[in-house]
Structure 1
């Protein structure tokens, strides 16, 4: 396959997919019956044949069409809304719901079928999202997103305040003891360099979650489940412990 800008985008998308699925160059080499060095050279030189590209895609259950779509989804996307857009979403629950569902690959028919939103109301909501510049409403009530599916909400914005007031407490109203649920609280004492390293690792984990969501977006809704992951880190001392510390030495 000739090396072109589009080829580079495909290879980068494929590398992200392999990383998200935990597939190593050693495993790719075994699947292609090549040495690890040869596989690394294929990726660095972006010199895949279509057959080999399909073989690697198969390792993550991805077709070439789906790979190309993942590239298209990542080009020229709005990744952060302006304050007015966030404010409008936070003030109207149904507007926020429909936008959230569209971000997760729902069609208008899916929304009407699964939620208490009738067709006429859905059209009004879609028209409002169109006026806000978040979607392009097309003939037949088809929708083209004008934003990334994986938005970054403003740290001091309306959606973050909505999260703090409504979502966070409800999320933790669980024992996290059901299938596919987990809660791990870890506490210790780290140096500043280690804290920065942990921050980078959490950021990478968030990227991997988004990549898996991007890949799974091609699956039927019946095979996907709403899931939230909360990642947090702070320099902090539990008040019950810190009240016993001597003045100026509250590190526990």
Structure 2
């Protein structure tokens, strides 16, 4: 929801765009100019007064609130508390993943065993958590950036590591457009950030394509999950066979072989 201070900031911008002076506004509101200046400077006034200024500007209050909401910075990630609330209920987590995929309420109801009342209730919870802004008609605006990611060691990733990772990799990855790559190597540490940046670009491209293809009929789209990862890692079964105190590598004689 928009705060009063945000609404007043937006009102000031609208007044400037309309070239309406504080003196002219005060006259139309039946107030002293000093009172109008004081209210706007404090950043706090009753919603009834904001609504009155909207009428002077011939601006619908709902439109003002929507403009404020649309101007808010999008979230790159959630807090620990927000993620903990999401994973506390599997159906809420399902709804969170659905809105991340830009599904409509109708699509969710057609695909999953949720009643309309349940689904709307979960949308309300996601609005309270801060993932979406719920709008009339059970439409919503996603408040997450295209580069949004779950916290690497947060509640949601912990949940997926525990419950979903084996399920994901249990697939054959042999369908059209599917595949899994496992590449091991030893590279310069200075190059690792560059590789990670490329992976992030792939993720952003995938997210942008998802948004672009929402215009296509549902029959022409395929639900996919892209998993990208890069870390220093050794298979635990191999690590268990390592020597506790490995012998130093033998030097190689110049021009010869060991």
TM-score range, shorter chain: 0.5 to 0.7
Q: List runs of 5+ in structure 2 lacking aligned partners.
A: 1-69, 250-258
1:153 match:
150
Give the number of the structure whose alpha-carbon radius of gyration is greater: 2
Q: Deviations over 1:154-209 (max 9, x none)?
A: 12210111111112111100221222210111122222233333222222222222
Q: List runs of 5+ in structure 1 lacking aligned partners.
A: 1-72
Q: Is residue 87 from structure 1 mapped to residue 60 from structure 2 by the alignment?
A: no
Contact 1:138–1:144 (Cα < 8 Å) also in 2 = yes
2:175 match:
178
Change (3 A) 1:197 1:79: closer
The SS at the match of 1:217 is helix
Alignment size in residue pairs: 180
1:115 match:
112
Distance 1:128 1:156 in 2: 23
Distance 2:188 2:146 in 1: 35
Q: List, as ranges, runs of 4+ consecutive aligned residues in structure 1 with deviation greater than 6 Å.
A: none
1:8 match:
none
Q: Is residue 189 from structure 1 mapped to residue 194 from structure 2 by the alignment?
A: no
Q: Is residue 247 from structure 1 mapped to residue 237 from structure 2 by the alignment?
A: no
Distance 1:188 1:196 in 2: 15
What TM-score, normalized by structure 2, do the two folds share?
Answer: 0.61
Change (3 A) 1:98 1:244: closer
What TM-score, normalized by structure 1, do the two folds share?
Answer: 0.62
Change (3 A) 1:238 1:87: closer
Contact 1:79–1:148 (Cα < 8 Å) also in 2 = yes
Between 1 and 2, higher relative CO (CA 8 Å, sep ≥ 6) is seen in 1
Q: Is residue 135 from structure 1 mapped to residue 110 from structure 2 by the alignment?
A: no
Contact 2:147–2:204 (Cα < 8 Å) also in 1 = no
Contact 1:135–1:145 (Cα < 8 Å) also in 2 = yes
Q: Is residue 77 from structure 1 mapped to residue 101 from structure 2 by the alignment?
A: no
